[in-house]
Amino acid sequence: MLDFLKPYISTFIPIFAAVDALGNIPIFIALTNSLNKKHKRKVIQESVITATVSAVAFMFLGKALLRLLGITVADFQIAGGILLLVIAIHLLLSGKHKGSALTEAGLEVGIFPLGTPLVTGPAVLTMTLMMVDSFGTVPTFISVVLNMFIVWLTFRYTDFFVRLMGEPGMKAFAKIMYILLAAIAVMMMRRGIMGFLLSL
């Protein structure tokens, strides 16, 4: 029994760490705290579907696609970091503390930046390829799906934190999270640049 479960456990834990569902809660709250329940449910659905489809598609097609296009993981990190930084700057300079600053600009926060690159980013994409190589497609696929279900659960029940902090607290909290979002973007670019330099 334990031998049967070993590949599933061995793939679930690294992917869980890469997805970091709990770590994405503050940014999710900051981006969606002003949205009504219907819109928030839509954002949750979009983010989980985007993250799942991205991870599964990359799991099956990633290596071939990267070889075909000559793209490296470092390229992913740099490009994702630049896009994320643009979003963070837009939020900070718009004068708004709400996720509606993005939706008013015609952007769907569930797809970007939540679905990708925050939930399914370079770390998750790389990890899925590693897990497929080490443990096979089926355990990796099941682990990805289970982790995305955990993401759905964590996003679904974030209202508790909003009620706990209140409106003034959420305003201050959102600004801090937007700065954190910018810092994450810079970190992604830094790692991408370091990876590129090491590959030379």
Q: In this structure, are residues 158 and 29 in contact, taking their beta carbons and an 8 Å threshold? A: yes
Residues in CB range of 28: below 8 A, 6 or more apart:
47, 114, 154, 155, 158
Q: In this structure, are residues 119 and 19 in contact, taking their beta carbons and an 8 Å threshold? A: yes
pLDDT in tens, 49-64: 999 999 999 999 988 8
Q: Is residue 17 part of a domain?
A: no
Q: Is residue 13 part of a domain?
A: no
pLDDT at residue number 187: 86
Amino acid at 144: V
Band (135; pLDDT cuts 50, 70, 90): very high
Mean pLDDT over 82-101 rounds to 69
| Residue 200 pLDDT > 70 | yes
Q: Is residue 187 part of a domain?
A: yes
| Residue 68 pLDDT > 80 | yes
Q: Is residue 7 part of a domain?
A: no
| Residue 102 pLDDT > 70 | no
Residue 140's φ and ψ, nearest 5 degrees, are -65, -45
Mean pLDDT over 23-39 rounds to 84
User: Which DSSP letter does residue 23 get?
Assistant: G
| Residue 165 pLDDT > 80 | no
How many domains in the chain? 1
Q: For the chain, what is the total number of helices (H) and then of strands (E)?
A: 8, 0
Return d(Cα 89, Cα 52) in angstroms, integer. 27
Angle ∠(26,28,34) on CA atoms, nearest 5:
105
**Average pLDDT, rounded, for the chain:** 84
Residue range(s) defining the domain that contains residue 113: 36-198
| Residue 3 pLDDT > 90 | no
| Residue 6 pLDDT > 70 | yes
Q: Is residue 116 part of a domain?
A: yes
pLDDT at residue number 9: 94
Q: Is residue 28 part of a domain?
A: no
Band (162; pLDDT cuts 50, 70, 90): low
| Residue 105 pLDDT > 50 | no
Report which of 78, 55, 85 is spatially closest to residue 199, judged by C-alpha positions: 78
| Residue 99 pLDDT > 70 | no
Report which of 26, 27, 28, 24 is spatially closest to residue 16, judged by C-alpha positions: 24
Q: Is residue 183 part of a domain?
A: yes
How many Å is the Cα radius of gyration of the chain?
A: 17
Q: Is residue 49 part of a domain?
A: yes
Residues in CB range of 184: below 8 A, 6 or more apart:
84, 118
Return d(Cα 180, Cα 158) in angstroms, integer. 18
Residues in CB range of 155: below 8 A, 6 or more apart:
24, 25, 28, 44, 47, 48
Mean pLDDT over 165-183 rounds to 76
Which parts of 118-181 are beta strand (E)?
Answer: none
